[in-house]
Amino acid sequence: MTTSRASSAARAATPSPRSVVQRLVSCRWRKTSHPINPVTPSALLQEAMKTHAPEGPILAIHSVVVAPAYRRKGLAARALRWYRDEHAFSGGVRSIKLIAKAELLALYVSAGFRVDGPSAIQHGKDAWFDCSAEGLEMVQLDAFPPAGAFSGNPAAVVFSHRSDDWMAKVANENNLSESAFLSRLGPSKYAIRWWTPGREVDLCGHATLAAAAALFETRRVADDAVLEFETRRAGSLRVSKVRNGGDDDGTAPWLSMDFPTGPLTEVPRDEIPAAMLRAVGIQENGPVSLAFAGKGPPSVPDVFIHLEGVEDLASAPVDIGVLATNDLVDRGVIVTCASKRPGVDFESRFFAPKYGVQEDPVTGSAHTLLTAYWESVLGTNGERPLVAHQASKRGGKLRVRTEGDRTIIQGQAAFVFDARLFAHPDDL
């Protein structure tokens, strides 16, 4: 039997579940009525309760005890979600199960468990119900949507880290521009990693926004939390809900991300291959001209091209094939111009065919380069937020500004669906 204990003394105004969940008791079982699978619920058996099988595929939760002063505040459900995230697919676990009385079913459902039906286990006079949670939870959200769900940039969020090979395969299966994988380090602190369908990347803005929105939406963190994401190569990223003027359209709360500003290094025109200039619409004696070209730092190693004379950036032809084979391109290509849209300061598009992304719908990380550049061009110098539009087919809306050596990127996220991953890492 495994027992997880923490202090029952809660000192913070909004305590974490770990500080007030006095006891969460579990053990490993081996037997169910039939093999575990995600379609047909497997019932717990009375004899299973008699034997603790350390290597068994079932992790059975016996009890969750919350300090009396902190009950009915959502802390037990949050602790259960954390527990599931940590132990699902870990050490041979295939299913997490428990039995509950009718009055507690709402709690377990809110923590992501499924009610499988009346339990065969007799435990006193009351009726009990089998509940289970198979697989790892994964959600999909649309980040920076200009028009709610089905616009902006889709991102998947998985609330756990597993092997690199497994995470890469999940990202490839999702076939989205990014999938984010989280590993909890503390009540409001997570390690984050990002994968495209082709490879891992060092920084991704829209999937970070989606990850933060997912943590708030699923109540894994308190509503007033300041989230901190630890990255492998881009330092620490902070995300919080916007408290003043955020819900200006009433659709979803705005989130504010604090990212490092990426310094741009100018690239002389004669160092840019003529084929790349033609690929983004610059023709000799044509209406479109090059205003500036640059390159981002190692964490955002994108080619940056500011065009002048563009009538409509969204419909401007771009030769993806040339960008995919050009040696100057490490990650992607940002193409930007001043906006003719009312209330919008600048527009951009982003292409990363070398990473398996032909055109990214919305690219938060690119705005760590775009923001400081356009503040300089427009002369605002961080005195007001700039409104940015990403001119992809799905579109994207962002509010951006710099603060010292940081870039503040604000946006919304629309929750699209909640799913479970059943492909176990041990089966690869």
Q: Return the active site residues.
A: 178
> How far apart, in Å, are the Cα atoms of 137 and each of 107, 140, 182, 420?
17, 10, 11, 5
Query: Helix, strand, or coil here: 377?
Result: helix
Nearest to 205 by CA among 388, 420, 354: 388
Would you list the DSSP string of 29-84? E--BSS---SSSPPPB-GGGGG---TT-SEEEEEEEEE-GGGTTSSHHHHHHHHHH
Nearest to 252 by CA among 208, 217, 202: 217
Note whether 158 and 172 are within 8 A (CB).
no
> For the chain, what is the total number of helices (H) and then of strands (E)?
8, 24
**Matching residue, tokens 């061009």:** 377
Nearest to 29 by CA among 59, 2, 62: 59
Residue 312 CB neighbour total at 10 angstroms: 10
Note whether 96 and 84 are within 8 A (CB).
yes
DSSP assignment letter at 385: P
Would you list the DSSP string of 249-280? SSSS--EEEEEE----EE--GGGS-HHHHHHT
> How far apart, in Å, are the Cα atoms of 18 and each of 59, 77, 133?
20, 12, 21
Element (H, E) at 221: none
The 3-state DSSP composition of the chain as helix, strand, coil percent (nearest 5) reads 20, 35, 45
Note whether 170 and 198 are within 8 A (CB).
no
